[in-house]
Each structure stands twice: as C-alpha cells, then as structure tokens.
Structure 1
Amino acid sequence: MAEANPFFQSKEVKEFTKKIEKYHLGPLWEAIPDLMHKEPAPEAVPYLWKGEIIQKLLLEATEIFTPERGGERRAIYLQNPGLKHRQPWGWASTTNTLYAAVQLILPGETAPSHRHTQSAMRFITDGKGAYSIVQGERLFMEEGDFLITPGGLWHGHSHPGDGPMFWMDCLDIPFIYATGGTFFEPHPDGIEPPSLPDDYSARKYRGGMVRPISDRKANVAPLGLYKWKQTEAALAGLSDFEPDPYDGIAVEYINPSTGHTANPNIAAWMQKLPVGYHSKAHRHTYSAIYHVFKGEGYTVINGVRFDWTKGDYFVIPNWAWHEHVNASNEEALLFCANDLPIMEKLGLQREEEYPNNNGYQQVVSEFKPEAGVV
C-alpha cells in the first residue's frame, strides 16, 4: 500500500480533517494508504458450499413458493462471507464482481421472461427436459449444457419434462450494481412466445469448426446453447496431449462469430483433471467460481485445503494462490465461471507463478464449513 506518514496522525492534521469533513470533503492524505494497496487485497474470501445442502434447501423451498413474477426465480445464491457487509443483501456477491446461484425448476413450472443489463450464463448440473427461451428461441437443456444470456436479451424458463432440474447461474450483478448501470424489464407476455425453431442456434452451429456464411458479422450471442457432447469431445481430443500445468485439460466456451468469450463479461470453461493430476500454484487478478461436475479432489487456496466432491461449489478470490489436485481413481471435471473479460477490458489482468517449493504451496489448514448437514 502507499506509505503511511505518522505526521498525518498529529493533532493539527486531525482537527483539519474534521473541519473539511463538514463540507462533505475527504482527506486523501489519510485515505490513500487504505485505498492504494501494493497489490490486490479483495474483501472476498475463499469458501466452499456443499451442493447436497443447497439442493435439499431448494427442494424445501418448493413447499413454500413457486417461481413467479416478483421473485422471478427459485434460486439460492452463494453469498461470500467476506462481502456480507455490502448493502443491500451483500450485493449478492460471490466474488467482488460476480454472483453465482443454484436454481431449481420443477415439471409444469414456468419462470417468467425478463431482461436486464446484467450478463448471465447457466450451467446445467442435474436433470433434463426444461428449456430456456432466449430471444424467441427455445433451448432444451440437459446435464453438462452451457447457456448464455448477455445483457439486454429476453430470457425465461419452462419445464414440460419430468423430474426436477438444477443449474448454476452466474451473473455480473455486483459489478453492474457498483457502476450504477442496472436496468430491469419484465416481459409483457409473462413467458416470451417462440419466434424461432427450437434449438435453432445449436443446430446452426452443429458443425463445430464451421459456421453459416450469414453469420460472418460479429453477433453478441449467435450461439445460445453449448451442448455437453461437443464439450466432452473437445476435452477427449485435448486429452491426447500434456495437460496445462495450472488448469489441467481445459477448453473455453467462445462466441463463434468473434472468437472471444461466449459471454462478453463472464468467461467460462471446463477443466478435466486426470487421475493423479496436481497442478502448480499460481494467482491472477480475475476471480473464479467453480462447480464440481464430476469426481472428487481438493484445491489449496492461500495455504488452506478445500476438499470437494461432485456437486460442490467453491470460490477463488482475485489474487489468491491456488492449485488443484485429483487424488481419486477417476477423472475430475470442474466447470469454471470467472471475470477475466472484465479484468482484460479494464487493463487489470495479471498472472503470477508461485515462486517457492517448486511451485506447490504448503498446506497449513483445512477448510471446515460453518454449517452441518441439513
């Protein structure tokens, strides 16, 4: 941080500081050591949420209310303990900039269409048969699918199938709230009526490495649904080669018309950790939220071991040392949503390798959730 000067703690300076505060002015000489850090010092903390507990609570919520206008969605968000002081509602912050939640929809239910300035994405964790309708296109979802709804696009959900469906939502709610850029609008028809064939964009881009010639111009969301089978195939192809030392075997969801991140403000990728894989530690200025799609293992964050199993969620704040380990007998799959695009656009993205112990942290403690089993 900027160097603190003891002179500014003198009686004379303190009295002058009180004087200017009466005029709604502030003393930079006192504020700068707290505002200008040597390196990022986020208030967000590393944390892990058990997926089993979240799903039980959501099923309990089905006995109390349904998704409808006003509440909009039956979702429980991952509130970072280090950001609960933000008002209102902790800004629903999972990291300094991002919100993540788990949403549940039951057969026969509809979550009304709306649009907002926040960018959104969802990753389907359990179930099938429901659809999201985005800009008039019904996108039918199943486990492992990834969907995007960039800011300003109409979107709603309905479930004509069987069995409950759970998915992870991620939005840039805290970032947009901090900038004062929030706009929200409900759809006049409740749920938006279809205006395109079902799964239109997914069928257009079924070819993978080819695209329709009519889509050569950049579009914010030419592909709304990324099917798990294609992601799985991409991971299988990449598995023929050595894994990345920090992220394992990883593929990123991209916008096929630009080559950039699929969602303008939120990057997302799928990481496969082979059996026995132990990544080296590093840190970066973007924050990341993980869902364990398959397998079990642990992640060391700033020297603390976080054990995870299928269905769990954990968060890595910006500029936190971290490394992933798969100590099980099967591959592990981690879905990651992060604010890398925001950091890149603001010119803040930096990355650093862990310099000690051949790149591996020393584990000094193990994370224990604050609440027990529901």
Structure 2
Amino acid sequence: MAEANPFFNSKEVQDFNKEIQKYHLGPLWNAIPDLMHKQPKPEAVPYLWKWEVLEKKLEEATQIFTPERGGERRAIFFQNPGFQGRQPWGWASTTNTLYAAVQLILPGEEAPSHRHTQNAMRFITNGSGAYSIVQGQKIYMEEGDFLITPGGLWHGHGHEGDKPMIWMDILDIPIIYSAAGTFFEGHPDGLEKPSLPDNYGARRYRGGMVRPISDRTTQVAPVGSYKWAQTEAALTGLSDFEPDPYDGIAVEYINPSTGTTANPTMGAWIQKLPVGFHSKAHRHTSSSIYHVYEGEGYSVINGIQYYWSKGDYLVIPNWAWHEHVNTSTKEAILFCSNDIPIMEKLGLQKEEAYTKNKGYQEITGEFSPVLAK
C-alpha cells in the first residue's frame, strides 16, 4: 500500500483532480492508499443471529407469503450490517462473497423450479418429508443432510410431510452480482417433473468413498445429497484421533469425481467440538458462515465473545481472528460454509495463527444479539 502524501491534499492537486473527473478519469495518486490496503479490510462485520428470532419470523412469514402469491421462495436472508450502503438489498450479502438464508416450506406446498448462474448449497436443519427436484432427480431431505445445486441446474421444492421443513441456503450471489454475471430462468412446467429414480445420486454413492466406474470422468454434481448418517460416521471415525487445534474434528464435503469441493465456488464442512474443547485462534482471507446444529458455546472474534446455542447462525468475516469453545456437556456440531474455493482460484487464500497468549485471544467485550419481540 502506498502511503498518503500530504502534497496530494494541496489546492494544486485537488483542482487537477476535479478537472480530470469531468472526463470520467480518476487520480491513482490519491486513490491507491484506499484501494490497496496492507491487509484485508472487509465490509462485512462479525454478527450472530439467534434461532428464536428466525423461528418467530419464519412462522410470521407463513401467514403472509405463499407460493400462489409469487416470490419464488419463502426465505429470509442474513443481511450483514456492514453492507447497509450496498444497493439494492445490500446485494443480499452475509459476507463479502456469500449469501445465506433460512427457508421454510409447509406441507403440501410447491416452490417452482428455476435455474440461475449462482451456485447453491443447502443444509437441512428442521423437519422431514420435503424434497428438491434437481435436474430431474427427486431428492428427499432429512435433518443433517447437505445438498448442492451447481449453477445452471434446474431445481425446485415440494413437501409431502406433515410438519414445516426448514433449511439453510448458501449462494454466491454477491460475487456473481458484482461480476454482472447473473442469468435467471423459470421452468416452463412450474415444478419440474422427475426423470430419474428418487434419491438417485445418494443411492449410487451409498458405499461412501467408492464411486461408480462411470464417474471416473468429471461430473458437475454426481452426488446431489450427502446424507447425515454417512457424515456422522465420518466424524465418529475421525474422533479416534486428536482434534485439529483450530477446527476440532472436521470433514469437508467433496465432489467424488474430482476430489475438489462439492460446489465449485463454495466450501462446506462439518465440525465437531469435543466436550471442553477450546480451539486456538487463527485468521484467514476466506470468510465463513456457521450454523449451530447441536450444542452450545461461544466464539471469540477479534476479541469479542459471541455466545451461541442450537439453531443460531454466526458470520466470521475475512481476516478476523477467531476461536471456538464448547461449553455444553455434549459434543457441539457446527456446519460451516465458506468461500475458500473463490479465494484459492484467485490465489488469495492465506492463513495465520494467533501467537500471543499461547494462541488464545484476550476477551474485550461481549456481543448482544437482537432478540424477538
């Protein structure tokens, strides 16, 4: 980063700057200190959304918004307070690059199929009986399942159960919006009709870390749904060994035909924090959005303590120091979505360990969440 130069604030320079702006030209000599920082300065800020608020507002939304009234989806997104100046709608930004939301579908409802440039992921948090139809494949959803919908694939939802179904959506809306690369199209049949056997991908991959020989060539989404039972078994097996000092016991969802992340622009994994576990602090250029699937505890982000419990959502911006603590009497399970693939593709991913105080931050304050009225 270039240092600010007092001369550039002189009348001579300021007059010249105003002159060239008439021609839609800009003065790099003044701009470069603001454009090239010594380290990342994301607009996103750390924030925590409580489940009791989300549950109440989703319930209220069911009384107002229905598929028949339009709107595509009954979803409430996490609007990071740091993006209030972004228009429109803060670009629906939860971090600088990622959108996240909670979506609810009622029994008997159908959400029409559509497709778009944005990549999407879902983590199922509450209920059963709902399904997604992705490119002709009907995928039934259960709590703890992880689903992917890479950009350009038709996808819609329906519900054959008897209770509301809720899940977390994650999309790369902000990065696609900023690149002006958005395309969106509704399906001509409303909800797409199935053309493959139900749960096709999950059934083909029920063997876990083996794959059909036909998938030795790259497939965009050979597994559309990663079942909780297999994920839980992987966590259990890894629990025989020492947890990672920063992330606990963690496994990442991958595309079995490529070995890379399940979605091309977004990473996702499950972290298990053993009873009493206190991770060491670190930071990285990628941002993360957490859902607390089980347990309770707190995270320290840049010195501020964020208490969380089952159902809560937490955002950790780029280059923010963070550590996690499990304070419950059982293991805590956290679902993490992140933009590591984007950062790696751009050559920007970097990680740094906190070296002071034996790797733990000093707590300087406590976050106060906004509670439901």
TM range (shorter): over 0.9
**Counterpart-to-counterpart distance in 1, 2:269 and 2:65:** 33
What's the counterpart of residue 172 of structure 1?
Answer: 172
Task: State whether residues 119 and 263 of structure 1, in contact with CA within 8 Å, keep that contact through their aligned partners in structure 2.
Answer: yes
Q: Does 1:63 align with 2:52?
A: no
Aligned match of 1:212: 212
* Corresponding residue of 1:372: 371
For the 8 Å contact 2:77–2:101, the answer to whether it is kept is yes
% identical aligned pairs: 76
Distance in 1 of aligned mates of 2:65 and 2:177: 27
Q: Distance in 1 between matches of 2:338 and 2:68?
A: 29
Work out the CA distance in 2 between the residues paired with 1:338 and 1:175: 13
| Alpha carbons 2:56, 2:372 under 8 Å: kept | no
Contact 1:68–1:112 at 8 Å: present in 2 too? no
Equivalent position SS for 1:229 = helix
Cα displacement (A) at 1:355: 1.8
For structure 2, the residue ranges without an aligned partner over 5 or more in a row are none
Q: In 2, Cα distance between the equivalents of 1:51 and 1:111? A: 24
Deviation at residue 33 of structure 1 after TM alignment: 0.6
Q: Which residue of 2 aligns with 1:259?
A: 259
How many angstroms apart in 1 are the aligned matches of 2:296 and 2:50?
12
Please state whether the residue corresponding to 1:336 is helix, strand or coil: strand
- Any idea what SS the aligned residue of 2:185 has? strand
User: Are 1:246 and 2:250 matched, yes or no?
Assistant: no
Asked if 1:322 corresponds to 2:322, the answer is yes
Q: Is the contact made by 1:69 and 1:112 (CA closer than 8 Å) also made in structure 2?
A: no
The aligned runs of 1:303-322 (5 Å cut-off) are 303-322=303-322
> Deviation per CA, 1:58-104, whole angstroms, max 9, x where unpaired?
11111112135741000000000001210000000000000000000
| Match status 1:292 vs 2:292 | yes
* Residue 9 (1) aligns with residue 15 (2): no
Cα deviation code 1:40-64 (max 9, x no counterpart):
0101000000112111101111111
Amino acid at match of 2:84: K
Once residues 183 and 204 of structure 1 are traced to their aligned partners in structure 2, the CA distance between those partners, rounded to angstroms, is: 31
Aligned to 2:53: 53
SS for the counterpart of 1:203 is: helix
Please tell me whether the aligned partners of residues 68 and 110 of structure 1 are also in contact (alpha carbons under 8 angstroms). Answer: no
What's the Cα RMSD here? 0.8
Aligned to 1:141: 141
* Structure 1, gaps ≥5 residues long: none
- Counterparts in 2 of 1:223 and 1:270: CA distance versus 1, 3 Å: same
Instruction: Map 1:180-219 onto structure 2 (within 5 A).
Output: 180-219=180-219
Give the Å deviation of 1:209: 1.4
Q: Distance in 2 between matches of 1:257 and 1:160?
A: 32
- Which secondary structure state, in structure 2, belongs to the residue aligned with residue 194 of structure 1? coil
Task: Tell me the amino acid that sits aligned with residue 105 of structure 1.
Answer: I
C-alpha distance in structure 2 between counterparts of 1:349 and 1:210, whole Å: 30
Give the aligned partner of residue 347 of structure 1: 347
Alpha-carbon shift at residue 327 of structure 1 (Å): 1.7
**Contact preservation (8 Å) 2:58, 2:104:** yes
How many angstroms apart in 2 are the aligned matches of 1:33 and 1:120?
A: 35
Residue identity in the other structure for 2:372: V
Cα distance in 2 between the residues matched to 1:7 and 1:254: 53
Instruction: Please report how far the alpha carbon of residue 2 of structure 1 lies from its aligned counterpart in structure 2 after TM superposition.
Output: 2.3
Question: In 2, Cα distance between the equivalents of 1:372 and 1:235?
Answer: 33
What is the SS of the residue equivalent to 1:243?
Answer: coil
Tell me the distance in 2 between the aligned counterparts of 1:68 and 1:312. 30
Q: Please tell me whether the aligned partners of residues 124 and 168 of structure 1 are also in contact (alpha carbons under 8 angstroms).
A: yes
**Off by >4 Å, runs of 4+ in structure 1:** none
TM-score (norm 1): 0.99
Offset, 1:178 = 0.2
Q: How does 1:64-83 map to 2 (within 5 A)?
A: 64-68=64-68, 70-83=70-83
**C-alpha deviation, 1:304, in angstroms:** 0.3
Distance in structure 2 (CA, Å) of the matches to 1:104 and 1:84: 25
One-letter amino acid of the counterpart of residue 126, structure 2: D
Contact 2:217-2:257 within 8 A present in 1 as well: yes
CA distance in 2, matches of 1:77, 1:357: 37
- The answer on whether the counterparts of 1:68 and 1:111 sit within 8 Å (CA) in structure 2 is no
- Mapped to 1, the partners of 2:338 and 2:252 lie a distance apart of 11
1:52 to 1:372, Cα distance in 2 relative to 1, 3 A: closer
Alignment of 1:85-100 (within 5 A): 85-100=85-100
SS at match of 1:314: strand
Q: What secondary structure does 2:123 align onto?
A: strand
Q: Which amino acid aligns with 1:186?
A: G
The equivalent of 1:338 in structure 2 is 338
Secondary structure (helix, strand or coil) at the match of 2:14 reads helix
The normalised TM-score by structure 2 is 0.99
Which residue in the other structure is 1:153 paired with? 153
Letter in 2 for 1:204: R
The 5 Å alignment of 1:212-231 reads: 212-231=212-231
2:283 corresponds in structure 1 to 283
Once residues 2 and 171 of structure 2 are traced to their aligned partners in structure 1, the CA distance between those partners, rounded to angstroms, is 33
Superposed CA offset, 1:258-282 (max 9, x none)? 1100011110000000000000000
Could you say which residue in structure 2 is the equivalent of 1:237?
A: 237
Equivalent pair of 2:235/2:251 in contact (CA under 8 Å): yes
Residue 67 of structure 2 aligns to a residue in which SS? coil
CA distance in 2, matches of 1:351, 1:372: 34
